[in-house]
Amino acid sequence: MITELEKIIKKCNTIRDCLESFLKSRVDQYDVDDFLNKDPLAPIIGTICDEKIKAEVAWNIPYHLYEFLRQKGLEFKASTICKLGTDELRRWLALHMQDKWPQKLNEREREDWLDKISKSIVKACKKIWVEYNDDPDKIFSINNGNLSIPMIYFALRQFPGIGPKKAAMIARDFGKNYNWVKSVKFRLSKKGIDLTVTNIHFTEMPIDVHVKRVFKRLGFARYNQPQDFQNLARIIYSENPGLVDDFIWWLGREVCKVRPNCGICPLFNICEYRGKGK
């Protein structure tokens, strides 16, 4: 008789196979002119904005804020945003978000988002201005650029509006050497700092509704605590557990939705929910 642990390991091995195929199929095009790659402040603001709204909306906010400031003759810098102030930033965010809100967010939740995000951005910008001489790249120059994944986690966690999940997400980006991270490395190299990321095996899987839904449907309903998810990710891809999120998040958002498209799911054969979405 197969034991429960053997079932877990078998499912994790299948997920790993699909993850590896998924990662190979993704083409990471590097566009130096992309605003997130070009500007060191953009990823910080994008990270702060990335909650309760669509990721693509959140990560486009820095560019639109840059355009707003440019039209006013102002630079897109932490000090500029700090001087702009919470009230004016909130007014701009409210106008920008008018036609971009998720339908599920009610009026009160939208107001709370505007309050929290505007305050967090200004506080984070003040910290960058005062402690890092208005240069966000200096955040990653500590320890002469020799940073472990846990160090990167706390480098981000120190900022208002960046909680554990967001900090883990950015640390995961460093573990994979995402495009905007390559830009940070390039800019620091011109300042004589060789950014080296170590302890990649310490990356974590950010946990959201998509991750929870997929793992529950795969048969891990009993294992629904944060430590459970992280240890499942470590079994699946021990060398870089954070990458498990790339695949599981995509699966939950595009395939294993509230009403899933089971017919195209690569994990159909190990899913305990299969077919119930029809």
Question: Are residue 243 and residue 128 in the same domain, yes or no?
Answer: no
**Residue that finishes a domain, picked among 168, 201, 234:** 201
- 275: in domain: no
- Does 208 map to a domain? yes
Task: Give the chain's largest Cα–Cα span.
Answer: 72
Q: What is the pLDDT of residues 160-208, one digit of tens each?
A: 999 999 999 999 989 988 888 889 999 999 999 999 999 999 999 989 9
Spatial separation of the C-alpha atoms in residues 95 and 114, rounded to whole Å: 11
The mean of the pLDDT values for the chain is: 93
* DSSP helix/strand/coil, 197: strand
List the CATH number of the domain containing 155.
1.10.340.30
* Residue 168 and residue 258 in one domain: no
CATH classification at residue 236? 1.10.1670.10
Q: pTM for the full model?
A: 0.86
Give me the pLDDT at residue 70, please.
Answer: 96
Among candidate residues 177, 201, 225, the one where a domain is terminated: 201
* Beta carbons of 69 and 178 less than 8 angstroms apart: no
Provide the pLDDT for residue 2: 86
How far CA 225 is from CA of 104, 253, 269, 278, in Å, comes to 25, 21, 25, 29
- Residues 70 and 189 placed together within one structural domain of the fold: yes
Same domain? 229 vs 161? no
Q: What is the pLDDT of residue 276?
A: 67
The pLDDT value given to residue 243: 92
Question: In this structure, are 140 and 213 located in the same domain?
Answer: no
Instruction: Give the structural domain span for 261.
Output: 4-27+204-270
Per DSSP, 200 falls in state G
Q: Tell me whether residue 245 is in a domain.
A: yes
Q: What does the pLDDT profile of the chain (278 residues) look like in tens digits?
A: 889 999 999 999 999 999 999 988 876 554 545 898 889 999 999 999 999 999 899 999 999 999 999 999 999 999 999 999 999 999 999 999 999 999 999 999 999 999 999 999 999 999 999 999 999 999 999 999 999 999 999 999 999 999 999 999 999 989 988 888 889 999 999 999 999 999 999 999 989 999 999 999 999 999 999 999 999 999 999 999 999 998 999 999 999 999 999 999 999 999 999 866 55
In degrees, rounded to 5, the angle at the alpha carbon of residue 140 between the alpha carbons of residues 130 and 235 is: 135
Do 210 and 110 lie in a common domain? no
pLDDT of res. 30: 46
Claim to verify: residue 51 and residue 65 sit in the same structural domain? yes
Task: Report how many domains make up the chain.
Answer: 2
Q: Answer yes or no: do 8 and 130 share one domain.
A: no
Q: Does residue 55 sit in the same domain as residue 120?
A: yes
Neighbours of 46 (CB within 10 A): 21
Residue bearing tokens 């944060």: 226
Domain end point (choices 157, 175, 201): 201
Residues 132 and 62 in one domain: yes
Do 187 and 211 share a structural domain?
A: no
My answer on whether 70 and 195 are in the same domain is yes
Closest by Cα among 275, 271, 165, 262 to 220 = 271
